[in-house]
Amino acid sequence: MCSKLLFFLVITGFVTSSATDDVYMPYIVHMDTSAMPATFSTHEHWYESLVSSIGSSRGKPPRLLYVYRHVIKGFSAMLSGSHLQQLQAMPAHLATHPDSYGTLHTTRTPSFLGLNKQTGLWPAGKFGNDTIIGIIDTGIWPESKSFDDKGMPPVPERWRGACETGVEFNTSNCNRKLIGARSFSKGLKERGMNISEIYDYDSPRDFMGHGTHTASTAAGSPVCGADYFGYAKGTAVGMAPMARVAMYKVLWATDTFESAATDVLAGMDQAIEDGVDLMSLSLGFPQTPFFDNVIALGAFAATEQGIFVSCSAGNSGPHAYTIFNGAPWITTVGASTLDRGYAASATLRREGNDTTEVLGLSFYPESILIFDDPVYYGKGNTTKEICSSNSLDASEVAGKILFCSYSNKSDAFTQMDEANRTSAKAVILVTDFGPFFRPSDFYFPAVALGLKDGEIVKDFMTKIVNTTVDIKFQITFSDQKPAPQVVYFSSRGPYRITPGLLKPDVVAPGVNVLAAWMPNREAAVAGSDYLVSDYRLLSGTSMSSPHVVGVAALLRAVHPGWSVAAIRSALMTTAYTTDNTHGPILDMTTGVAGNPLDYGSGHIDPNKAMDPGLIYDLSVQDYIDFVCSLNYTQEQVRIITRRSNYTCTTSNFDINYPSFMVILYNNVSTQTFKRVLTNVQDSPAVYHAVVEAPIGMNVTVEPQALSFGPKGSTQAFTLRVEVDLGGMRPESNYIGNYGHLSWIDKEQKHVVRSPIVSAFAP
């Protein structure tokens, strides 16, 4: 196989208020469409009439921006405070929210995930053939080889999308791989943002790189010989390399790097209209109620149309209650590490050819010759040993290899800066920061050693004055242990809006992922030189979501009749929680075992997800019943469901989700869950329950065995959790206890596993 971010859009929250001033700004308006007079043939004509009928004593007239056909019942418009008051007085008006703005929120991954050309999910799913993935992001660089359509069949006839023209973009930029590209910027422009060639392309073309990277991660065509300046050499390929890509550009590199909620909503609305099968958003809004969150609103409408929606969980970890995009109809994805590492080797030599060799972390993007070069080490002088700021004499250090001892008073970045200031040829530094380095940190030739190897080198050099070293950069290895780990920045549960629903759902690769980049945009820095590349290593939950949406495309190709909930359930119940040392998945921040608030059900396992045995299914009505349980007003429920005559069959917060969450508060420590499992095997089967529960958590399951008929048959069960609160106190991560429920068939071929978690209320 041939085989390159860290962005997460955070946007300020909606405010619902009756404006009294005459500030002219964009608003999102929710309408009761059942009140549309019969004289209007379309909602659009009705909205145009309503907006034009609003009087204006002074200033600019009201103006329609977008009409939303799927994500909400309503439109967005430029309104003043007096316009808004008139609109709110109309009987058909439900709610209005001012537009919101914000700033921004990465291949060995196919093999790490077990995807193989000969067996498993890849060939079974025909590599995602003819599935259409909508990417809501910063645009796309269509010339990238990752979007080459060689060998792809004609575009599916069901596709209703288009390839729009704009600055340095036209219809010829689309092909059988990139089948659609649109951009949405009305809301941003109305705020006076300058979208031009100086800051961005006023078109679907990507200026920032984020959208190109995420799109190629999800569905990039195989590209041999890809690398990041000599690191990660191989074939770059997306999770679903035969899937189609449709880009919806909603995020812009203006002078303040912002996006408008009106534009995000318009992009999702258009993706539904165009006929995408799946949608990925590596961006998010603050943790506001679902009726205030445009991604939650758009994803609900998409789910209703059978469109799978994957979203990044956010980069606000490692603290509890930091999850974004936690609605139950969204698959929420956290970030984990890979088993691939990047390094430089240092071979130290002293008199008599006595040598020692160590391997240290490095991403330095150039191959420079360091052979038998002298090492400078200020032994005997603590200040010089640790290379603190301005501690060294450039006349002593220039042209040599600087060695810096570990110190909690001089961090690795200070030491690298000191090496640069004194014109050292390279630096070998000792640090405990290793896992947290990013490729962009290595602007100077540096080898970062861990504490143990640092002591070996220090001891080696202490005994002999004249030490020399050979350094080789651009080393990649694929057996890094332990892996995966939950990365420090990945947002953690519980989800503040609905803490009784465990989020994230799963984790997926999100650290140093190699994916497509733009050849005219900085990819690395070496000294004072800015380097460019077609592929780049980047990190973030932004990278995790496209991994999951790509795997979901493969599952949809294998099981075209599966619902959105079935796909998510298969991913969750087959996820694993052990690393490549056979120990528990670790939390990178603490170095100890993680828990479901960190990784949800676990790390995705695509091949197992193809054959989960049983699934927890959900219908749109289940989601409506869930919303009905949230103490929202009738109007707020109507905003989410887009129905004037919605029905709550029951007010049920305990929906048929593949995880179990008990929130501990006011001495409440017991909860009963009701679930229904569906057989997705081709034959009848019998499953029995196996519970793993820690001391202090008592779990009972009734019945203990489930006998399923043919494919599609269902069985219900009840799970009761009792938590002993004696001596328990909320800790920094808020977790109380956790265990697992597994349903295992007689042949032990299928293990349908769900986490059971107790956590303290915030």
Positions annotated as catalytic residues are 137, 210, 542
List, as one string, the DSSP characters of 69-108: SSSSSEEEEEE-HHHHHHHHTSTTEEEEEE--EEE-----
Q: Buried (b) or exposed (e) across 323-344, using 16+ Cβ within 10 A?
A: bbbbbbbbbbbbbbbbbbbbbb
| Integer Cα distance of 222 and 148 in angstroms | 9
Give whole-number Cα distances, 184 to 277, 336, 551, in Å: 20, 31, 27
Instruction: Classify strands 244-249 and 178-183 as parallel, antiparallel or unpaired.
Output: parallel
Structure tokens at 50: 């309503």
**Residue pair 686/708 in contact by the 8 Å Cβ criterion:** yes
To the nearest 10 degrees (0 to 180), the angle between helices 294-304 and 261-274 is 10
d(CA 650, CA 230): 58
Spatial distance between the Cα atoms of 180 and 176, rounded to a whole number of angstroms: 9
The first and second tokens of residue 611, run together, are: 């054959």
Q: Is 656 exposed, middle or buried (0-12, 13-18, 19+ CB in 10 A)?
A: buried
In terms of phi and psi (left: phi > 0; alpha: psi -120 to 50; beta: otherwise), the region of 376 is beta
Tokens at residue 155, please?
Answer: 């575009």
- Which helix H or strand E contains 417, and what residues bound it? helix 412-421
User: By three-state DSSP, how is residue 237 classified?
Assistant: coil
Strand order in the sheet with 714-723: 614-615, 670-679, 714-723, 697-702
d(CA 272, CA 251): 18
Which strand (E) or helix (H) includes residue 182? strand 178-183
